[in-house]
Structure 1
Amino acid sequence: MTNWSIYHGNALDAYHTWEAPQTIISDGAYGVGGFPGDPRTPDDLGEWYREHIEAWSRHATLATTLWFWNTEVGWANVHPVLIANGWQYEFCNTWNKGIGQVAGNVNSRTIRRFPVVTEVCVFYTRVPRLPVSAGSKHLVHMKQWLLSEWKRTGMPARRANEACGVKNAATRKYFDQGWLWYWPPVDIMMKLVEYANEYGDPDGAPYFSFDGEKPVTAEQWEATRSVWNHQHGVTNVWDHPSLRGEERFRGSMVRSAPRTYKPTTMSASHLNQKPLALMERAVKASTLETDVVWEPFGGLCSGSVAAVNLGRRSFAAEVDLGFYKLATERLTAQQRSLF
């Protein structure tokens, strides 16, 4: 039994068949003309990604996260589209490939710049929005929803501190409407829920409900926050050389027709294969075992290989038949090696 799936075609045609993702690893167009369909410049990358980003937003949960690989300027052009579709910037990781990335002599009179040896992998979460009331299509930020639900009880805000057994942390953190707002931990949220439904105006019950029929449960509340597994000593600068050794997947691609490739055995298959160590770093940080990872622009499916290695489940897509076959071969061999 496999825990991965690859769709041969455009991911836009497959998203609706995939399970909701815990994290999405996007390594698509860079705006450098690197593959058929990749724009020659990054200027229009926002439009290139727009349909995909809109689809990610439709199928995401409040806990879904995104790792967006690109060049610095490529990401800058896509960032506004992500923000407009409910993705919240968290931090930017820089992959430093090192001096070995500089091939041959650099003619400074011609290039007139420092050699570029970096890419970025930017981490996003979902903006936590909830229906203003059960069944409503109008969404508000979770911090507004929390305060609004408490106000509906008819009790003053200070009673929330009593509910949580604190001096002022409940109103100061969980009801704050500015940048000091904190997501209430599960144990705290359950105290607010229990107190509100016991002492609030009975005519307005249930309070803190997602469906209007019963209060939110601990499990449901836990699922509103993205996973984060902290890795001590890891920073947002990822020093790792470009792949040149055994990990570099061979069986290179030779063009035989537009958008179609056939494998040979001469050189590297993919011009920009990502190190498994970096893909596993992302998967480890943002998922738990058995969680779902999406890789909509598969290539050699390094993100999916990382997911398989770590006991996650992956859904990937690849439009090119040659890369699709190589990725399938790679994932099949990787899964077999684990047993």
Structure 2
Amino acid sequence: MRVQRLVAALLVALVAGCGPAVAATDDRVPSFRPAPPRPYAVGVRHVVVDPDGSRPLPVTVWYPAEPAAPAESATRVTAGPTGGEAASGLTGSGTTARPDVPVAAGRFPVVVYSHGLHSLPDLHAPLTTRWAAAGFVVVAPTYPRTNLRSRDFTRADVRNQPADGWRLIRHLVRLDARPGDPLAGHLAVDRFAAAGHSAGGFTTAGMFTSGHSRRLRAGIVIAGGGLAGSFAGPVAPVLFVHGGADPMVPESVGRAAYARSLGPAAFLGLPGQGHGEYLTPGRPGFAQVLATTTDFLRWTLYDDRRARDRLPADAVLPGVTTLTTRALPGRG
């Protein structure tokens, strides 16, 4: 009940406004390649952004590592009407992250993943490591005043977190050009997405303020909603994921944010489900959430049209999930 009261208060505090998101500059476009045809092993490292500043930001980084899995072992099981355990879109089965192993060859799009109140990045590893296996660098900040171990927890600090997300993006742009760093030359610094759960979903929405850098190409809001000023231009596709019986952030809040968002959007509903049990492997809806989010990221960050086209079928399992879309290219 304590967390439920905190989230309810958070809704009241945040819809009124949030701190400005400062956009990254230098929209240079490095060389890039198509979506990977097979899953990767996964590495993990930890960095701290601005360690000597007033707001240090520890960050967990999951990334594609060598060796990639053989083509014949790539996971491509549709998670639609058959309700398979695996998701389409190369999620792979080896999602155990190995510390500080070499980064796979090539450049990879980046997903900034934001945790919720009283949470930590590692608690979201079942999802984030699978995204890394599918060919994304996933960077998850531990927010200073809302994480599980914070000594000065303050839910209102969520309004400052979108700026933290942009600070992290600027750091990664610099890091990609830093000689000697293991990630240097491996980040597609013109292809970022933001994603997050609960308060992290609100944080994600808050990064899409007016005039934000075009580096930020897509968003995934899980069990969250919009902030004042969010979903302004430039237009970027947004995927919403929400339980129909969420007791902490009502589904109506997510639906309202979906209605406010600009451009292509999709809403993956999980009737009868709560605040996030569908993010646990083996639970009803996990396969569809994994498949849909992976398809969405491959489409928006790799320009993978096949992923876009299979998204509706991957998303829907009758009795478990529903899908509403608006202006998805090729789908109307």
Looking at secondary structure, tell me which structure has more helix per residue.
1
Question: Is TM > 0.5 for Structure 1 vs Structure 2?
Answer: no
Higher RCO (CA 8 Å, separation ≥ 6 residues): 1
TM-score by structure 2 length? 0.32
TM-score by structure 1 length? 0.31
